[in-house]
């Protein structure tokens, strides 16, 4: 009875005026933030006028974009490279199942390593893989020379490999493991008792139960994969391999920029992603999540005998290859006289470190990075909480619309999101002060991180029983007091995670802010990009090391707080 | 027990609630007297929890008025709505709803902090409340370190510490194991007697209702079926549903028969049930003359002598005899109905025999089929 009334109460017929007005305001704000760039992209894709003239309607951009073989191959490469999501979800499912259900030595270490990987910026990892697998001076290639094997990181397979190990699998595992942890193991044990073997249980019970979650994770990784940019630019451009995001960047870099083509290409992907999001919402709304009941979840880790050492070894080899080897190589590389040249006499030196650290540009970049991270995460936490709470706990009007709109920023490549806001800042006088300002960057990053931020807080609110909140109200606590004393402490582990993710997202971001920022607001990530594009690999790798240290620190802190609140 | 002169503390008038256009609560009205335990009893989905949540102010009704001590706290028509935190009610949830991040002490202090009670007074009141529910000595424990029964006591202390006008309990015992449930039932009853707080108690368990209630309100399909003391409702149910929901109901199908002695219900063309309240029974008979006679096990007595059945006597076949130690349980079949009767051990009954049962005519209830 209680369950029935709670489930049903979210769809009450009767609405107060305040819920309607509140809902409309929220819809307006979210729509303004998310639809502005979308409209900007669509409108500009239909611009047939040359760059210096006024907007004129025409399909020239679309025609040119999709008659260019380079664009078509870029689309082809994009899909080819995103096969990694399929490979990734299989590996991640097995990994997260092993980590959550089986007693494996050092499994906490493995999981923590994946957390680090999740926070690491991808550009420095690409740099260190260049050190290892450059066809001319790569360290591994050097070692492999006697047996005649040679890898080339500047290849499709190279890009595929870096993404699979450093982003796709860690992200998917990090997202899947908590879901598995919340899934009552007695569901699986019941299947066992019915006579189903491990594989049968996996296939007939676990996979269907995890269906919605698997789909979410797959989609999240796919979308992030579609807009992946840094590695593709660094490794693909030299060999003429372009993907969707780098092709757009390429089109913008032309003189004069080919905006209509870039926008047309982007609109196509927007359409695809929008359909995916729509399909996703339909799919998840008709299926009950088996994962939301946090109560009475019990499971004992399985003992599997000696095989556990073998599995443990495999997992550790995986995290070493995906995280620690590139990190170590990056540090070594940053200490070299000449990046990658191990064969010269006396190759190591700390000279570059002292040069970079002593540079006032560096110091201001550190300041900017921290300000950007703290600002975005702080303001973001507040806003995402507000929206998440409104979506889950109130009956405001337009909730399903907002639920769809918040995903839009993920459908827009960062570079175009930045471009849209650059245009907005420059064209409307009201927004002019935002150009080149710290606040402007924060605004763009807030929008960029909105999907994950709101999604996580929403999940958190769903998972704490509504009764815990209601009992406070009945005791006489006013709404805000109750929110502060009961609700916030209960979801604090999630809040810490959201803060960490948004902070790191802001600190490592390159594509979104590269156009909006100026020299005054330049953070570490942009400085690193500039160094590496200018061929100063030494300085770039040093900044890569520093950004990685940020990532490790953030992973450590969020892990520690997460563990403490779990205990 | 509420005296006839007892003051009404809460009155519910024409309360209705719709979810997605489906009516889950239909014009519910009842009154609650000061210092009584009113139990809302009914099967799951009958609207009893919804009623409680509407009283608490956790949901808004689509129609109806709730008054707490002369004050209107909600009136759907005029849009009056006092939020939950302003109603000075207490609530205990089925799943306890204890906050995992607070200690026992912090829990109980929470409602007092909200009310800006002074520090000394908080300490005193928390101590007293914990003593009342038997949690003294556990002040510093985290709520999650308590057992189920202790968590429920904590929820109770939290709800009682600020002396609410009414305590609302939403199936508070159903998450406890059977033994603890029985013990807590009695504790709750004692507590209420001691404190004199008015309780509205929601449950689907009839034993709980019978043990605790001063008055029971039976609900079904969003409506109140009957309100009365447990004895009234048990002895004088006004519907077949109430008869079968409270206690065991044995039903025989029969026909109305007019004979030389007036009228009776005839079962299987052989047995005749004559009941005292003839006029009353008469109006409960279907147009085609069929009727359902409902009885309780205690209304049937074994007739020891061997003779053909007379009026108000039926025969039943003994299907099975189960020895419960101090008594027998008989599985019987008579007049096409299977039922169970517990009898004392002085009756020597064997499986396969036929026995004669006398029916207490004053207790027969008749309903149309």
Per-residue pLDDT of A393-432, as tens digits, reads 888 888 888 888 888 887 787 888 888 888 888 877 778 7
Task: Locate the chain B residue with the closest alpha carbon to A493.
Answer: B101
Q: What is the CATH number of the domain that holds B15?
A: 3.40.50.300
Question: Does A297 score more than 50 pLDDT?
Answer: no
Last residue of a domain, one of B245, B263, B290: B245
Task: Judge whether B57 lies within some domain.
Answer: yes
Task: Locate the chain A residue with the closest alpha carbon to B19.
Answer: A12
- Confidence class of residue A1 from pLDDT cuts 50, 70 and 90? very low
By the 8 A CB rule, do A161 and A81 touch? no
Tokens standing for residue A251? 């089109």
Q: How many Å apart are CA A460 and CA A453, to the nearest integer?
A: 11
All residues of chain A having their beta carbon less than 8 Å from the beta carbon of residue B158 are: 471, 475
Rounded to a whole number of angstroms, the distance from the CA of A471 to the nearest CA of chain B is 7
Q: How many Å apart are CA A170 and CA A174, to the nearest integer?
A: 6
Task: Judge whether B3 lies within some domain.
Answer: no
In sequence order, what DSSP letters do the residues of A19-73 get, joined into one string? HHHHHHHHHHHHHHHHHHHHHHHHHHHTB-S-TTS---B-SHHHHHHHH-HHHHH
Task: Judge whether B192 lies within some domain.
Answer: yes
Residue-level pLDDT at A188: 66
Residue-level pLDDT at B3: 56
Q: How many Å apart are CA A238 and CA A507, to the nearest integer?
A: 27
Task: Locate the chain B residue with the closest alpha carbon to A466.
Answer: B97
- DSSP-derived 3-state class of residue A348: strand
Number of separate domains in chain B = 2
Strand partners, B65: B13, B75
Question: Does A298 score more than 70 pLDDT?
Answer: no
**How many other C-beta atoms can be found within 10 angstroms of the C-beta atom of residue A80?**
15
Task: Tell me whether residues A474 and B168 touch, CB distance under 8 A.
Answer: yes
Share of chain A above pLDDT 90, in %: 7
The sign of the torsion formed by the CA atoms of A415, A418, A423, A424 equals positive
All residues of chain B having their beta carbon less than 8 Å from the beta carbon of residue A476 are: 85-86, 88, 111, 114-115, 162
Question: Does A344 score more than 80 pLDDT?
Answer: no
Residue-level pLDDT at A246: 83
Tokens standing for residue A432? 């002019």
Identify the residue among B58, B76, B102, B103 best suited for mutation to test binding to A, counting A beta carbons within 10 A and taking the highest.
B58
Render pLDDT for B303-334 as a digit per residue (tens, 0 to 9).
888 888 888 898 899 999 999 888 899 999 98
By the 8 A CB rule, do B92 and B167 touch? yes
Q: What is the CATH number of the domain that holds B279?
A: 2.40.50.140
Min mean pLDDT across A346-350, A501-505, B292-296, B331-335 is at: A346-350
Tokens standing for residue A108? 């906490």
Task: Tell me whether residues B87 and A474 touch, CB distance under 8 A.
Answer: yes
Which carries the bigger pLDDT value, residue B60 or residue A342?
B60
By the 8 A CB rule, do B52 and B199 touch? no
Task: Judge whether B2 lies within some domain.
Answer: no
Render pLDDT for A362-388 as a digit per residue (tens, 0 to 9).
888 999 999 999 999 999 999 999 898
- DSSP-derived 3-state class of residue A303: coil
Q: Is residue B224 domain-shared with residue B262, that is, in the same domain?
A: no
Tokens standing for residue A114? 């994946």
Q: Is residue B91 domain-shared with residue B185, that is, in the same domain?
A: yes
Calculate the alpha carbon distances from A374 to A3, A152, A301, A495 in Å.
Answer: 40, 39, 38, 14
Establish whether the linkage from the previous residue to A256 is cis, with ω within 30° of 0: yes
Question: Does A292 score more than 50 pLDDT?
Answer: no
- Which of B45, B93, B162 is the closest to A471 by Cβ? B93
Task: Judge whether B99 lies within some domain.
Answer: yes
Task: Tell me whether residues B85 and A475 touch, CB distance under 8 A.
Answer: yes
Range list of H helices, A82-155:
84-101, 107-119, 122-133, 139-144
Rounded to a whole number of angstroms, the distance from the CA of A489 to the nearest CA of chain B is 7
- Which of A13, A477, A478 is the closest to B20 by Cβ? A13
Rounded to a whole number of angstroms, the distance from the CA of B266 to the nearest CA of chain A is 41
Render pLDDT for B110-150 as a digit per residue (tens, 0 to 9).
888 888 889 999 999 999 999 988 888 998 988 888 888 89
Render pLDDT for A508-555 as a digit per residue (tens, 0 to 9).
888 888 888 877 888 998 888 888 877 788 888 888 899 999 888 888
Q: Is residue B95 domain-shared with residue B209, that is, in the same domain?
A: yes
Question: Does A102 score more than 90 pLDDT?
Answer: no
All residues of chain B having their beta carbon less than 8 Å from the beta carbon of residue A465 are: 95, 97
Q: Is residue B37 domain-shared with residue B177, that is, in the same domain?
A: yes
Min mean pLDDT across A16-25, A381-390, A438-447 is at: A16-25
Residue-level pLDDT at A187: 65
Task: Tell me whether residues B90 and A11 touch, CB distance under 8 A.
Answer: no
- Mean pLDDT (chain A, rounded): 80
Task: Judge whether B52 lies within some domain.
Answer: yes
- Mean pLDDT (chain B, rounded): 87
Torsion of CA A288, A289, A294, A299, to 10 degrees: 110
Residue A152 neighbours by CB under 8 Å, 6+ apart: A133, A135, A158
Identify the residue among B95, B116, B161, B170 best suited for mutation to test binding to A, counting A beta carbons within 10 A and taking the highest.
B95
Task: Tell me whether residues B155 and A471 touch, CB distance under 8 A.
Answer: yes
Q: Burial, A256: exposed, middle or buried (Cβ in 10 Å; 0-12, 13-18, 19+)?
A: exposed
Q: Is residue B239 domain-shared with residue B263, that is, in the same domain?
A: no
Q: How many Å apart are CA A424 and CA A290, to the nearest integer?
A: 43
Domain hosting B107: range is 8-245
Q: Burial, A195: exposed, middle or buried (Cβ in 10 Å; 0-12, 13-18, 19+)?
A: exposed
The b-or-e profile of A318-349 (16+ CB within 10 A means b, else e) is bbeebbebbbebbbbbbbbeebbeeeeeeeee
The sign of the torsion formed by the CA atoms of A297, A303, A309, A310 equals negative
- Confidence class of residue B283 from pLDDT cuts 50, 70 and 90? low
Task: Tell me whether residues A8 and B19 touch, CB distance under 8 A.
Answer: yes
Rounded to a whole number of angstroms, the distance from the CA of B54 to the nearest CA of chain A is 11
Vertex B16: Cα angle to B12 and B19 (nearest 5): 140
Q: Which residues of A have a CB under 8 Å from any CB of B? A: 1-2, 4-5, 8-9, 11-14, 16, 295, 465, 467-468, 470-479, 481-482, 485-486, 489-490, 492
Q: How many Å apart are CA A460 and CA A452, to the nearest integer?
A: 12
Share of chain B above pLDDT 90, in %: 38
Task: Locate the chain A residue with the closest alpha carbon to B100.
Answer: A490
Q: Is residue B277 domain-shared with residue B168, that is, in the same domain?
A: no
Residue A96 neighbours by CB under 8 Å, 6+ apart: A172, A173, A176, A177, A179, A180
Rounded to a whole number of angstroms, the distance from the CA of B75 to the nearest CA of chain A is 14
Beta strands B327-334 and B271-273 are: unpaired
Q: How many Å apart are CA B22 and CA B5, to the nearest integer?
A: 39
Residue-level pLDDT at A290: 40
By the 8 A CB rule, do A302 and A103 touch? yes
Task: Tell me whether residues A8 and B162 touch, CB distance under 8 A.
Answer: no
Rounded to a whole number of angstroms, the distance from the CA of A562 to the nearest CA of chain B is 14
All residues of chain A having their beta carbon less than 8 Å from the beta carbon of residue B148 are: none
Render pLDDT for A112-166 as a digit per residue (tens, 0 to 9).
888 888 888 888 888 888 888 887 777 888 787 778 777 888 888 888 988 888 8
Q: Is residue B229 domain-shared with residue B148, that is, in the same domain?
A: yes
Question: Does A565 score more than 70 pLDDT?
Answer: no
By the 8 A CB rule, do A340 and A333 touch? yes
Q: Is residue B325 domain-shared with residue B339, that is, in the same domain?
A: yes
Residue-level pLDDT at A6: 36
Q: Burial, B119: exposed, middle or buried (Cβ in 10 Å; 0-12, 13-18, 19+)?
A: exposed
Q: Is residue B236 domain-shared with residue B172, that is, in the same domain?
A: yes
Calculate the alpha carbon distances from A14 to A549, B16, B59, B113 in Å.
Answer: 53, 12, 11, 34
Mean predicted confidence (pLDDT) in B201-216: 92
Mean predicted confidence (pLDDT) in A35-48: 84
Q: Is residue B162 domain-shared with residue B100, that is, in the same domain?
A: yes
Tell the residue number behind the tokens 């609630």, with chain if given.
Answer: B17
Q: How many Å apart are CA A510 and CA A512, to the nearest integer?
A: 6
Cα of first residue to Cα of last residue in chain B, in angstroms, is 37
Rounded to a whole number of angstroms, the distance from the CA of A564 to the nearest CA of chain B is 12
The ipTM is 0.70
- DSSP-derived 3-state class of residue A12: strand
Mean predicted confidence (pLDDT) in A319-326: 89
Min mean pLDDT across A78-92, A200-214, B32-46, B301-315 is at: A200-214
Task: Tell me whether residues B110 and A477 touch, CB distance under 8 A.
Answer: yes
Identify the residue among A471, A483, A567 best suited for mutation to test binding to B, counting B beta carbons within 10 A and taking the highest.
A471
Q: Is residue B183 domain-shared with residue B289, that is, in the same domain?
A: no
Q: What is the pTM of this model?
A: 0.76
Task: Judge whether B115 lies within some domain.
Answer: yes
Task: Tell me whether residues B85 and A473 touch, CB distance under 8 A.
Answer: yes
Residue-level pLDDT at A2: 37
Render pLDDT for B212-264 as a digit per residue (tens, 0 to 9).
999 999 999 999 999 999 999 998 888 889 998 988 899 988 888 877 777 78
Last residue of a domain, one of B201, B224, B245: B245
Domains of chain A (ranges plus CATH)? 68-253+307-332 (1.10.3720.10), 350-567 (1.10.3720.10)
Task: Judge whether B1 lies within some domain.
Answer: no
Residue-level pLDDT at B52: 93
Task: Locate the chain A residue with the closest alpha carbon to B56.
Answer: A474
Q: Is residue B117 domain-shared with residue B228, that is, in the same domain?
A: yes
Last residue of a domain, one of B245, B264, B299: B245
Mean predicted confidence (pLDDT) in B41-62: 90
Residue-level pLDDT at A562: 63
């Amino acid at each position: 009875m209680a369950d029935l009334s709670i489930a049903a109460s979210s769809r009450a017929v009767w609405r107060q005026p305040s819920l309607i007005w509140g809902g409309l305001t929220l819809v307006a704000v979210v729509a303004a933030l998310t639809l502005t760039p979308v409209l900007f992209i669509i409108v500009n894709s239909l611009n047939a006028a040359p760059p210096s003239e006024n907007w004129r309607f025409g399909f020239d951009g679309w025609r040119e974009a999709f008659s260019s073989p380079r664009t078509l191959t870029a689309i082809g490469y994009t899909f080819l490279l995103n096969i990694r999501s399929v490979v990734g979800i299989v590996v991640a499912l097995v990994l997260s199942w092993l980590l959550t259900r089986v007693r494996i030595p050092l499994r906490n270490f493995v999981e923590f390593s994946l957390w680090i990987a999740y926070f690491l910026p991808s550009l420095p990892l690409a740099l260190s893989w260049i050190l290892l697998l450059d066809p001319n001076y790569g360290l591994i290639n050097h070692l492999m020379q006697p047996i005649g094997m040679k890898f080339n990181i500047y290849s499709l397979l190279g890009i595929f490999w870096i993404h699979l190990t450093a982003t796709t699998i860690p992200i998917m595992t990090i997202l899947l493991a908590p879901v598995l942890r919340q899934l009552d193991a007695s569901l699986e044990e019941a299947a066992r008792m019915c006579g189903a073997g491990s594989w049968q249980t996996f296939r007939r019970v676990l996979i269907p139960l995890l269906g919605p979650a698997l789909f979410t994770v797959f989609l999240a990784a796919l979308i992030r994969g579609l807009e992946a940019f840094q590695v593709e630019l660094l490794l693909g451009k030299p060999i003429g391999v372009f993907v969707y995001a780098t092709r757009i960047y390429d089109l913008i870099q032309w003189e004069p920029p080919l905006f209509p083509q870039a926008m047309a290409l982007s609109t196509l992907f927007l359409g695809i992603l929008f359909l995916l999001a729509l399909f996703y919402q339909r799919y998840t709304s008709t299926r009950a999540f088996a994962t939301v009941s946090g109560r009475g979840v019990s499971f004992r880790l399985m003992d599997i005998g000696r095989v556990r050492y073998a599995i443990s070894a495999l997992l550790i080899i995986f995290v070493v290859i995906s995280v620690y080897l590139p990190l170590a190589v990056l540090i070594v590389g940053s200490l070299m006289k000449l990046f990658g040249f191990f064969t010269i006499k006396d190759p190591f030196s700390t000279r570059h470190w002292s040069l970079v650290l002593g540079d006032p540009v560096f110091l201001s970049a550190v300041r900017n990075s921290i300000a950007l991270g703290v600002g975005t995460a702080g303001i973001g936490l507040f806003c995402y909480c507000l929206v998440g709470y409104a979506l889950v706990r109130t009956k405001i009007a337009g909730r399903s619309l907002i639920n769809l709109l918040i995903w839009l920023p993920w459908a827009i490549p960062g570079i175009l999101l930045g471009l849209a806001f650059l245009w907005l800042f420059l064209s409307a006088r009201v927004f002019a002060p935002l150009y080149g300002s710290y606040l402007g960057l924060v605004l763009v990053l807030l929008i960029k991180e909105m999907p994950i931020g709101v999604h996580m807080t929403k999940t958190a609110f769903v998972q704490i029983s509504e009764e815990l909140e209601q009992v406070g109200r009945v005791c006489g606590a006013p709404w805000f007091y109750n929110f502060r004393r009961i609700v916030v402490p209960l979801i604090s582990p999630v809040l810490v995670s959201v803060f960490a993710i948004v902070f790191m997202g802001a600190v490592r971001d390159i594509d979104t802010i590269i156009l909006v920022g100026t020299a005054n607001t330049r953070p570490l990530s942009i400085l690193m990009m500039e160094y590496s594009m200018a061929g100063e690999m030494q300085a770039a790798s040093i900044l890569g090391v520093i950004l990685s240290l940020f990532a490790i620190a953030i992973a450590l802190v969020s892990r520690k707080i997460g563990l403490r609140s779990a205990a | 027990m509420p005296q006839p002169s007892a003051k009404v503390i809460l009155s519910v008038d024409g309360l209705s609630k719709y979810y997605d256009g489906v009516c889950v609560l239909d014009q519910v009205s009842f009154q609650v007297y000061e210092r009584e335990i009113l139990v809302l009893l009914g099967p799951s989905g009958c609207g009893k929890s919804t009623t409680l949540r509407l009283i608490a102010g956790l949901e808004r009704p689509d129609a109806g008025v709730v008054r707490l001590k002369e004050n209107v706290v909600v009136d759907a028509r005029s849009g009056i709505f006092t939020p939950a935190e302003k109603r000075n009610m207490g609530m205990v949830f089925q799943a306890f709803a204890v906050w995992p991040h607070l200690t026992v002490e912090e829990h109980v202090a929470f409602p007092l902090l909200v009310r800006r009670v002074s520090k000394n007074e908080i300490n005193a009141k928390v101590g007293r409340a914990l003593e009342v529910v038997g949690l003294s000595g556990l002040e510093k424990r985290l709520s999650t370190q308590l057992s189920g029964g202790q968590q429920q006591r904590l929820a109770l202390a939290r709800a009682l510490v600020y002396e609410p006008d009414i305590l609302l309990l939403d199936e508070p015992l159903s998450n406890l194991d059977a033994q603890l449930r029985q013990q807590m039932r009695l504790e709750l009853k004692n507590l209420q007697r001691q404190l004199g707080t008015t309780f509205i108690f929601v449950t689907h368990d009839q034993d709980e209702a019978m043990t605790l209630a001063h008055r029971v309100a039976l609900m079904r399909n969003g409506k109140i079926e009957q309100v009365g003391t447990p004895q009234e409702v048990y002895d004088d149910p006004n519907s077949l549903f109430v008869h079968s929901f409270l206690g065991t109901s044995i039903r025989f199908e029969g026909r109305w028969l007019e004979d030389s002695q007036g009228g009776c219900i005839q079962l299987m063309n052989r047995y005749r049930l004559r009941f005292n309240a003839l006029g009353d029974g008469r109006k409960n008979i279907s147009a085609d003359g069929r009727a359902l006679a409902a009885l309780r096990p205690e209304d049937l007595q074994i007739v020891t002598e061997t003779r053909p059945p007379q009026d108000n006597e039926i025969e039943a076949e003994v299907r099975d005899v189960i020895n419960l130690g101090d008594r027998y349980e008989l599985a019987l079949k008579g007049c096409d109905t299977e039922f169970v009767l517990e009898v004392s051990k002085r009756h020597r009954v064997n499986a396969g025999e036929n026995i004669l049962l006398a029916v207490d005519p004053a207790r027969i209830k008749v309903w149309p089929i």
